[in-house]
Amino acid sequence: MRGKICLALAIVLAGAVPSLYCQDPKAEIQKKLSAQFTRTKLTADWSDVATAGSVLVLQKDGLLMCSTDAKIPPQPTYKNGAITMGFGANMAWTVALSTTNQQPVNIPQRKFVTGEKFWVTDYIVKDDGVYFALFSDPINDIRYHTQLKVAFPKGKFPPPDDVMKTIAEVIVVENSAPEAPAAEAAQAPNEQAAAANTPAAAPKTVSIGQTTDEVVSAFGQPQKIVNLGKKVMYFYPDMKVIFVDGKVSDVQ
């Protein structure tokens, strides 16, 4: 009898093994995030990028960010196709800042819109959503940061692939594009031939007096930024752009 009980128990446990070792959805989402987003490492004083990671492109308007002088960033939420920073979130931010003797009214703030770019410095999966720590390049000598929450449906932990699709609605990695369907791939040779017969696009140029936003719009994010206060240097693969008071003063 004891042998039969042991055998039955072994069978039950064997059947339970797959569920015991099933992927934790949080761990699976974190794994997918790590495969898609490379963290940017900042300098100790948060004044510059030490090691460049993924540059993200915003896909929705209204992302609230504040100056990095704020010890605690705001926490806007992406849900149901929109980025919001409601009364409750603003109150929570105000209370959190008060513990560090700061107030939102004394901190520069800016709402980023579709097409603007920034760095991702961290991301973490929690029970209610995925949280992204974001950090901008200097805009009029101010760097901004925020913590964007991509919310999960209430009371439901979504499949990892659905989470990644939702994230792609609001932020994507620069120069990333979905794989072309087979039909589009078949048309590629014809499109390439047509492109070969079209006039070449005008070369990109940088001129004295252009702003940082104009340079980034033309050439993309630099490989490195050196911030010396009023003087800021953007390093690209084949040139160095020097800004003074937010405008191009020299190109080397």
Give the per-residue pLDDT at 55: 95
Residues 158-212 have pLDDT tens digits of 999 999 999 999 999 998 645 445 545 455 556 665 555 656 666 778 888 889 8
Res. 97: pLDDT tops 50: yes
What is the amino acid identity at position 182?
Answer: A
Residue 152 vs residues 13, 26, 78, 173: alpha-carbon distances, Å = 33, 12, 9, 21
User: Residue 74: CB partners within 8 Å, gap ≥ 6?
Assistant: 64, 65, 66, 85, 89, 90, 93, 104, 109, 146, 147
**pLDDT tens, 37-63?**
999 999 998 889 999 999 999 999 999
Model pTM above 0.75: no
